[in-house]
Chains A and B, each alone.
Chain A
Amino acid sequence: MSIWPGIPKQASGAIARKRLKLLLVADKTDCSPEILEKMKDDIVHVISNYIEIDKDGIEIQVVQSRSIPTPKRGPVIRANIPLCRGSGQPVYTVPTKRT
């Protein structure tokens, strides 16, 4: 709720959640969200040399492997890179994993 009608203020619980998620990524990878963003650009660059991908639909996250099945415990980089068919429409998603 906001003091000024018409200007919604984000509830602080949601802010805490967002900050915490970024913080844990930085803690686990020992690298800042900015570096992660640069890495994302590089990955996009490399893959788009070979296949056409939907650049706006890309999601790269560092998550705990306990939330997804992997052979090894610990943080994992999870990338969702939607591919494009000739028309430029994303058709399906290839999830890639890396430790």
Chain B
Amino acid sequence: MSEVIVITSGKGGVGKTTTSANVGTGLAILGKRVVLIDTDIGLRNLDVVMGLENRIVYNLVDVVEGNCRMKQALIRDKRYPNLYLLPSAQTRDKSAVTPEQMAKLADDLREDFDYILLDCPAGIEQGFWNAVSGADRALVVTTPEVSAIRDADRIIGLLEAAQMRDIDLIVNRIRMDMVRRGDMMSVDDVIDILAVNIIGAVPDDESIVISTNQGEPLVGMGSLAGQAYMNISRRVMGENIPLMEWDHSKSFLARLSSLLRHA
């Protein structure tokens, strides 16, 4: 049984595309057949995060308009043969596709893939409804900031009104040092305010910047963010994995240096 999952947030810049790339790659590492769809028509980015920007010939709008077959537009990942990307069009806008067309496109992919991940554009206009219309479930990404949580609340309200079956929250870019000294809302604070199921928490990690520079998702690598994304991929598949306790995984040296800094 394949699943269509939309990754959305409302606010821009909270990590939708990074999350899509890493959760998708994580599912592929776990042996699933995965396709990532960039639905941000006019502002495509997922190709760059995946490091596949030089291989684009056809795009999502070409498929919808019948300029090519689906197989011609799908790009196979560099590292994982069961992972594909359907890139967005850069020279068109959101009105090039309707929600019905997008739903049909996602539906057509069910036959060949276990997971169809839709990277949603920011905002709540047509691009959002395009991405949401064909999805079975939603992952809402937020950061522990007032503006991002406010937008996430609005998005959750819209998804509930649209009868979305499953809505799960990802809290991104947590800085445990700031949470500890009370200068950042904790994951528990965010869950309490949004009253929604949490599927993962990702620490703010330099290695994300490095991996995006290189165009290679870091899921499954040694970094904390890489582990956090792998855990999310496993939970998406239905595995029951408790939330990470980053304090324990912190090295002795890191703990010592933070102790000295706060002394």
Could you tell me if A11 and B189 are in contact, using CB atoms closer than 8 angstroms? no
Residues of B within 8 A of A67 (CB): 195
CA distance A15 to B74 in the complex (A): 47
> Which residues from chain A contact B178 at a C-beta distance below 8 Å?
13
Interface residues of B in 193-237 (CB under 8 A from A): 193-196
Q: A20-B149, A24-B153, A73-B160 are in contact. Are A13 and B189 (CB under 8 A)?
A: yes
Cross-chain contact B146 with A27 (CB below 8 angstroms): no
Is A19 an interface residue when CB atoms closer than 8 A count as contact? yes
Contact B195 A16 (CB under 8 A): no
Interface size class of A (residues with CB under 8 A): 20 to 34
A-B contact count (CB 8 A): 51
Interface size on B, residues (CB 8 A): 23
Which chain B positions have C-beta within 8 A of A98?
none
Contact A13 B195 (CB under 8 A): no
Which of A16, A19, A23, A28 neighbours the largest number of chain B CB atoms within 10 Å of its CB? A16
Instruction: Report B-chain residues with C-beta under 8 Å of the C-beta of A20.
Output: 146, 149-150, 185, 193
A66 contacts the other chain (CB 8 A): yes
Please give the distance in Å from B137's CB to the nearest CB on chain A.
16
Q: A20-B146, A20-B149, A66-B195 are in contact. Are A12 and B183 (CB under 8 A)?
A: yes
Give the docked Cα–Cα distance between A2 and B149 (Å). Answer: 27
Does A21 make an interface contact (CB < 8 A)?
yes
B-to-A contact residues, CB < 8 Å: 144-146, 149-150, 153-154, 157, 160-161, 178-179, 181-186, 189, 193-196
